[in-house]
A = this chain, B = another copy of it.
Amino acid sequence: MSRIYNFSAGPAVLPEEVLKTAADEMLDFKDSGMSVMEMSHRGKEFKEIIETAEADLRELMNIPDNYKVLFLQGGASLQFAMIPLNLMIQNKKADYIHTGQWTKKAISEAKKYGTVNVIATSEADNYTYIPEPDPASFSKDADYFYIASNNTIYGTRYTDIPDTGDVPLVADMSSNILSEPVDVKKFGVIFAGAQKNIGPAGLTIVIIRDDLIGKAPDNTPSMLNYATHANAGSMYNTPPCYAIYIAGLVFKWIKGKGGMETIKKNNIEKAQILYDYIDSSALFKSPVKKKDRSLMNVPFVCGDKELDAKFIEEASKLGLKSLKGHRTVGGMRASIYNAMPLSGVKTLVAFMQEFEKNNT
């Protein structure tokens, strides 16, 4: 089969150029006579891979010098525990904005270690918008303030980042990291599972301000203590080397495209084409409040389960894959991460138009 248009929510489409490089270098990375999978993480070849990946990410995201970049394992799910274990220390309380299944898991995990104030949620409306609580309601003595900047399942994203003052802001950016520029200085911690916009599953990126490292109590598992990894340059133990290599290729690819401003422009263009058609359609609807719509995950429904199933089946035959929506939302979802080409979105919209014509 030729390459499909893969609208999977994650793991997700990667740039074809990156995969071609990975295939070419699989048996012999840059005349080393080894695959990247085979090389010692302490050797000079891998040292250059991880250092270049970090430098490129720092450049792309304009990460200030007083932040560490950590290459970890365990996904966002492990961060749900690491955040409170490392940060819920002083007053043992934190504020959370609850915007879906992933913040629910993060809240549940944090409650093991202290008091969680859910200061706002869109749960009653099936998370179709981002709540905007009055900053007066924020806990002044919270150890941190937690958000998920993009909600993969519901297709929402923060367009205004809450101003939490001196309380460190923690963001799960798993599904929108590197999709548009962010002002890292506004955050205490940014974390992201790699498997959407960065690379293969099994790598977790953590960007953490120096003063938030080193607070975890002594009985914290070493591997769950940010200080362990920060002090060892992410090499306390063997890191997920191959995933870091692919992430590095993706960072180079983004730089080659022109960096974050170009990526943002491309992402807005792709999302706009899809949202514009959905908003003009008599068949398809977006469940999401306009202001809060994600650039990465676009759910759409036609309100008829049989028609949904028919759409997904016919789309699949045309090579438009993984369009089934999450069971809690229903309908369809097109995840259009950085690596989804414009042609994929145009092909999808052309099919939606055709489908609408044939089914109304």
Contacts and interface: CB of A to CB of B under 8 A. Distances in A.
A201 B14 contact: no
A230 to B, nearest CB: 15
Interface in A189-232: 193, 195, 199-203, 218-219, 221-224
A294 interface: no
A165 interface: no
Interface stretch (A58-66, A74-82, A280-288, A306-314): A74-82
B201 A241 contact: yes
Interface string A12-54: 1110100110111011100111110111110100000000000
Interface stretch (A3-11, A136-144, A177-185): A3-11
Given A3-B27, A23-B27, A223 B74 contact: yes
A243 interface: yes
A221 B24 CA distance: 40
Nearest to A223: B78
Interface residues of A, number: 71
A338 interface: no
B31 A11 contact: no
A201 B240 contact: yes
Nearest to A219: B112
A200 B37 contact: yes
A172 interface: no
Contacts of A27: 3, 16, 19-20, 23
B20 A23 contact: no
Given A12-B38, A202-B202, A322-B43, A73 B76 contact: no
A154 interface: no
A74 B77 contact: no
Given A81-B224, A240-B240, A41 B201 contact: yes
A186 interface: no
Can you list the 9 inter-chain pairs with the closest CB atoms, starting with the nearest? Answer: A202-B240, A4-B33, A81-B221, A23-B26, A77-B237, A73-B73, A1-B31, A37-B200, A201-B238
